Structure 1
């Protein structure tokens, strides 16, 4: 199966460098996506890049979103509900219609730079050593304001028919289910086919547990 891989904020397609070969070894075709990130880029530009990858897939793909990019994966299901085979959401949840995509941190000169590790202390970053943190920080790509403040537009109710799997890193499947039941994740509350899988990692399992993550994604792709 074609597996489209979309990393979260401040990352590009290279975030999947250790995941992609493991997916290939399991018979899949990984497609890491590097999103438009020039200062003038908008959320619509990033959605267009994802949809171009969806439309180029040789078969119905599984679209994987990490963190904030869970919303991009969900937008793909909304735009192509008849063509996206499954959505995998790692460490994040899709925004609701009308929400801002990722208006989380301070903007500087038209972009949202990586804010440092303070906001991610605890379970998010517990499995990253100091060298890994320095590497992440030095490579972090500022998020354009037009992306961070872009408004999410969902239009096709058929997105709820697309099977979804929620990969839970720094929280448990039970916690995720509680948040959904409490109404905190209205999009997933309406999903008709939602599975949960656990991975014992921080917020960036593609960096700290790439082989385990590849195993889980391959299993999700084959319905195991």
Structure 2
């Protein structure tokens, strides 16, 4: 039995993985969706990026999980990639689901253009240090049903600003770890340059899904199949 630890992206809680988790459990796997500090049912005080790394490591260590496939979506590729380097031989594989990846000493925001960084920092200032959730219009063209968009919008919560502005701290180079990168083609046909560089490592592989940036909602069965194939 493989243990899947599933970490949702910005604004989302463990609930975002419900359909994928059900499909993986039906295959006999252990599934542990994570809600990060400061988001969803844990919304409250601001949380830093290392708190998010600690959240993930705690789920694995507190449950004494072995043979772990650790998946991070979107923003959460950054804390998931750091957590993967801390859990030693508990790790089976890291999976980045159309996500950012960590670079030692750099933050999530450092990967944005100057205009993008200014826009996000402006949002953080206006909202007291939190990153406001997206609106329904932001999900157009991402292979999502109206029902899925309504669900995401209604359940999203502001994301802790410190977590996206604090730098990553890598315990191990991510290129050394067995890794699958899932590229969702409706959110861009090719991986970002930093991901493309890592894909030159023999430890990394690329899987493509013909869907948008939120495959746990748009194509949960297909995403679960990809994950199950890694077990």
TM-score range, shorter chain: 0.7 to 0.9
Question: Which secondary structure does the structure 2 equivalent of 1:82 belong to?
Answer: helix
Structure 2: segments with no counterpart, 5+ residues: 39-43, 111-116
Q: Does 1:91 align with 2:98?
A: yes
Q: Is the 8 A contact 2:199 2:205 kept in 1?
A: no
Which residue is 1:47 aligned to?
53
- The aligned runs of 1:150-161 (5 Å cut-off) are 150-157=166-173, 159-161=174-176
Query: In the TM superposition, what is the alpha-carbon distance from 1:189 to its structure 2 partner?
Result: 4.7
Q: Contact (CA 8 Å) 2:68, 2:93: kept in 1 or not?
A: yes
- Structural RMSD (CA): 2.3
Helix, strand or coil at the partner of 1:17: helix
Aligned pair 1:166/2:176, yes or no?
no
User: What TM-score, normalized to structure 1?
Assistant: 0.84
The within-5 A match list for 1:43-122 is: 43-55=49-61, 56-102=63-109, 105=120, 106-107=123-124, 108-117=127-136, 121-122=140-141
Structure 1 residues not aligned, in runs of 5+: none
Q: 2: CA distance between counterparts of 1:131 and 1:25?
A: 24
Say if 2:183 and 2:190, in contact at 8 Å, map to a contact too. Answer: no
Shift of 1:135: 2.1
Identify the residue that residue 21 of structure 2 maps to in structure 1: 20
3-state DSSP class of the match of 2:77? helix
Provide the C-alpha distance between the structure 2 equivalents of 1:191 and 1:81, rounded to a whole number of angstroms. Answer: 19
CA distance in structure 1 between the partners assigned to 2:109 and 2:18 by the alignment: 24
**What is the 5 A alignment of 1:174-193?**
175-176=190-191, 179-180=192-193, 184-185=194-195, 188-189=198-199, 191-193=201-203
Aligned CA distance change for structure 1 residues 147 and 131 (closer, same or farther; 3 Å): same
Scaled by the length of structure 2, the TM-score of the pair is 0.82
